[in-house]
Amino acid sequence: MARVAERLGFTTMALYRHVRGKQELLLLMLDFVAEVPAELDEPAADWRWGLRRWCRAQWEMLRAHSWIVRLPITGPPVTPNQLAWTDRALAVLRGTGLSEADKAGVVLLVANYMHSSARLGADLGPAASGESIAAHSALLGSLADARRYPALRAAVDAGAFDYPAGAPEEERRFDYSFGLDRILDGVECLIRSGRGGGR
């Protein structure tokens, strides 16, 4: 708090008149940068497309402000922008037949997945670049002995750890799409089951 106060040209005690402590300051900073993009106010073509759009916006916000993924999660969303993000995701699920509890569960699952994916991307840093992934794939190729690691060897030989030649750098970085698609497949199964009665 002392460094923040100094940087703002205040005394530490003056800063404490506005915020109670570091956690509150971080929460306010998070809310400031987590403004919901206007595109999320536009109607979604369908729930799946809408959740993918929501996730892409989350991903862009978390990548632009990677310090967010380092913040401890101390409770449910409570700030205006956090509530707005939650509201937009819940709105996308309107008309699916899911109960409100199931909708909330889906939003929590997807939000946690995006947060952990962004955290992994931030942790990997330069190791998530296309160049590093290609080097890792080559290393796996030299280590994956077919007798000792037959399943790994088959995956390496099939190019499972490679990115397509000529793919844009954005596509050659850590990508959350595969996991998100599997989550959305599960949500689709839940919707089709017609369960919708809550947990």
Say if 198 falls within a structural domain. Answer: no
Q: pLDDT of 23-61, one tens digit each?
A: 766 677 777 888 888 888 888 889 999 999 999 999 999
Whether residue 82 is found in the same domain as residue 151: yes
Q: What is the CATH number of the domain that holds 189?
A: 1.10.357.10
N residues, the chain: 199
CA dihedral 46, 51, 56, 58 (to 10 degrees): 140
Whether residue 27 is found in the same domain as residue 50: no
Say if 127 falls within a structural domain. Answer: yes
Report the predicted TM-score, pTM, of the whole model to 2 decimal places: 0.77
Question: How far apart (Å, rounded) are the C-alpha atoms in residues 28 and 32?
Answer: 6
Whether residue 87 is found in the same domain as residue 116: yes
Q: What's the token pair of residue 20?
A: 């109670």
Residue 46's pLDDT is 94
Query: For residue 109, what is the enclosing H or E element?
Result: helix 100-124
Q: pLDDT of 86-106, one tens digit each?
A: 999 999 999 999 999 999 999
Whether residue 29 is found in the same domain as residue 86: no
Task: Give the pLDDT band of residue 66 (cuts 50, 70, 90).
Answer: confident
Whether residue 68 is found in the same domain as residue 16: no
Q: pLDDT of 101-155, one tens digit each?
A: 999 999 999 999 999 988 888 887 765 556 667 777 888 989 999 999 999 999 9
Say if 21 falls within a structural domain. Answer: yes
CB 44 within 8 A of CB 50: yes
Whether residue 100 is found in the same domain as residue 132: yes
Q: What's the token pair of residue 120?
A: 């992994």
Domain that holds residue 64: 38-193
In the structure, how many helices (H) and strands (E) does the chain have? 10, 0
Say if 125 falls within a structural domain. Answer: yes
CB 196 within 8 A of CB 97: yes
Whether residue 11 is found in the same domain as residue 53: no
CB 26 within 8 A of CB 1: no
Whether residue 56 is found in the same domain as residue 154: yes
Whether residue 141 is found in the same domain as residue 45: yes
Whether residue 126 is found in the same domain as residue 152: yes
Domain count, the chain: 2
CB 156 within 8 A of CB 149: no
Say if 199 falls within a structural domain. Answer: no
